[in-house]
Amino acid sequence: MTRLAAEIGKGLAPAREARPIRPFERIHVLGAAGAGASAAVLLAHRAGALVSGCDPGGPSPYSAALVEAGIDLAWRHSPEHVLRPDDPRARPERLAVTKALTSIDPDNPELRAAVELGIPAEPWQQVVADAAATTGQALLGVAGTHGKSTTTGWLIDLLVRAGRDPSAFVGALLDTRLSGGTPSTARWGSGDVFLVEADEYAGNFDAYRPQIIVLLNAEWDHPDVFADEEAVFAAFERWIRNAPRDAALIANVADPGVVHIAERLSVDWPGEIVAVDDDAHGLEIGLAGPANASNALAVVTVGHFLGVPESVIRESVAGFKGVGRRLELKGEVGGVVVLDDYGHHPTAIERTLQAVRERYPGRPVWAVYEPLTYHRTASMLDRFAETLATADHVLIADIWAGRDQDTTITSARALADAVSARGGPAAVAPGSVEQTADYLAREVRAGDVVLVMGGGRSYVIAARLVELLGGAETGPGTARA
């Protein structure tokens, strides 16, 4: 474990058994405009809490639903959000934050104020788990190195079509049909299932104790917290063992990592292990690529497990159009297709490129990548280069540092050089996301497909390119590739 890993979550309360949120419980959420934290805000609000939030990054696509709900938001950090000098009786009873904040900003004034007052701070995932406990719905967690957001969104679609009205958290925007209102990463329903996307990073999923677990795949990622693949396997296994004794694991046994974990569990784990169907049974699958074919089989298996009618399963598998920033069509202008995707791991990028080739056969593909964190880029540079070199054109934007403090270990230029050295296209590193979009606008031609990928500000590239080409974005929840 690295020094950074040891700092992540330091000072936050450890995961605990979920408990219902009390009516009018006062909760303050830091980073409230983020994909996950915004869901915690919305779900706590719907559960009856008095919720406030702040985010120095300003409004985001995820915060629009919070504004619509009338939730109190501030666009800066301030100890006054905790101290409430105007009305000490209105002080929050707990804070919810992203774990990474404790390593990025250990002296955060709101965290310091909470410590001084003895107000507990905990990961925002705990608030999501408590919201699920409030509803009393069965918790279903979707885990894996890849495909979590798409599969969770797909299961929401399945249960909505089945009339099961689920509640949910997913780390990508749901369109209005699935969110039940303004596009958001949360859904509040009255049905029998609460779906959560369960992220393994630094134990983010520890607060979730699902009755049903879907494990899509498992391989090495997050080199700042997992030393190797075995550490990843151990994290998934430990989490599954913390589930209720009568839990069910729906395991994609076509994935070697999942097989390894399932074999270890089969020795003494009391829960039920259900293998994902290994045959599409003539299903029409609405999303392109082999990764989505695998995700679809997991959806089918969960549908059967939950007793969803076969006709509804087939309708969802064929009709689901995806979630935000997962091969999302941002526009087609002058014959140029612009796609936006969250891919930031070599395997995810490989599968996404395969999906693009399947959907747009014979068209030149631009792989435009904003690397997510220096440590991941440095640790997996060769794999990134090999995968990106399969595109027709490659651009590498400046690396998004995220929680990294050492920005000297690699660079966008180093990755571009590694791509070029593998006999692929001569990769270019234009600079910032804005400069990358400007470069693209000068170079793309009718017939090109531009695939923008990354987990930082890469979405700016796609939006700016569409604007520069003279079009308008389709926006989340509309047309998608």
Position 437 pLDDT exceeds 90: yes
Quote the pLDDT of residue 180: 92
SS3 letters across 132-171: HHHHCCEEEEEECCCCHHHHHHHHHHHHHHCCCCCEEEEE
The C-alpha torsion from 181 through 184 and 190 to 191, rounded to 10°, is: 120
Quote the pLDDT of residue 477: 32
Q: Of the candidates 270, 295, 319, which is a domain's last residue?
A: 319
211-257 pLDDT, tens digit per residue, is 999 999 999 888 888 999 999 999 999 999 999 999 999 999 999 99
Give the integer Cα–Cα distance in Å for 140 and 132: 10
Both 122 and 99 in one domain: the answer is: yes
User: 400: which DSSP letter?
Assistant: B
CATH code for position 237: 3.40.1190.10
Sheet with 138-143, edge to edge strand ranges: 184-187, 167-174, 193-197, 138-143, 212-215, 248-251, 272-275
Is residue 132 a part of any domain in this protein? no
Both 12 and 160 in one domain: the answer is: no
3 state SS of 373? coil
The C-alpha torsion from 83 through 84 and 89 to 91, rounded to 10°, is: -60
Both 346 and 290 in one domain: the answer is: no
Give the integer Cα–Cα distance in Å for 130 and 400: 32
448-460 pLDDT, tens digit per residue, is 999 999 988 999 9
Give residue 423's pLDDT band: very low, low, confident or very high (50, 70, 90). Answer: confident
CATH code for position 121: 3.40.50.720
Position 478 pLDDT exceeds 50: no
Position 405 pLDDT exceeds 60: yes
Is residue 67 a part of any domain in this protein? yes
Is residue 476 a part of any domain in this protein? no
Quote the pLDDT of residue 4: 55
Quote the pLDDT of residue 278: 83
Q: Of the candidates 76, 102, 127, which is a domain's last residue?
A: 127
Both 282 and 192 in one domain: the answer is: yes
Give the integer Cα–Cα distance in Å for 436 and 463: 12
Q: Of the candidates 319, 337, 353, which is a domain's last residue?
A: 319
Spatial neighbors of 3 by CB under 8 A, at least 6 apart, are none
Both 306 and 357 in one domain: the answer is: no
Quote the pLDDT of residue 109: 94
Number of domains in the chain: 3
Give the integer Cα–Cα distance in Å for 232 and 218: 7
Quote the pLDDT of residue 471: 62
Position 61 pLDDT exceeds 50: yes
Position 481 pLDDT exceeds 50: no
Give residue 102's pLDDT band: very low, low, confident or very high (50, 70, 90). Answer: confident
3 state SS of 311? helix
Is residue 480 a part of any domain in this protein? no
Both 412 and 293 in one domain: the answer is: no
Quote the pLDDT of residue 374: 94
Average pLDDT, rounded, for the chain: 93
Give residue 288's pLDDT band: very low, low, confident or very high (50, 70, 90). Answer: confident
> For the stretch 37-54, what's the b/e string if a residue is b when 16 or more beta carbons lie within 10 angstroms of its beta carbon?
bbbbbbbbbbbebbbbbb
Nearest CA among 242, 244, 266, 241 for reference residue 253: 266
Lowest mean pLDDT among 36-45, 51-60, 369-378, 471-480: 471-480
Quote the pLDDT of residue 82: 97
Lowest mean pLDDT among 10-19, 25-34, 75-84, 397-406: 397-406
Q: What are phi and psi of 186, to 5 degrees?
A: -135, 155
CATH code for position 441: 3.90.190.20
Give residue 6's pLDDT band: very low, low, confident or very high (50, 70, 90). Answer: low
183-216 pLDDT, tens digit per residue, is 999 999 999 999 999 999 989 999 999 999 999 9
Which pair of structure tokens corresponds to residue 223? Answer: 């080199």
Average pLDDT rounded to a whole number, residues 348-369: 96
Q: Domain span at residue 297?
A: 137-319
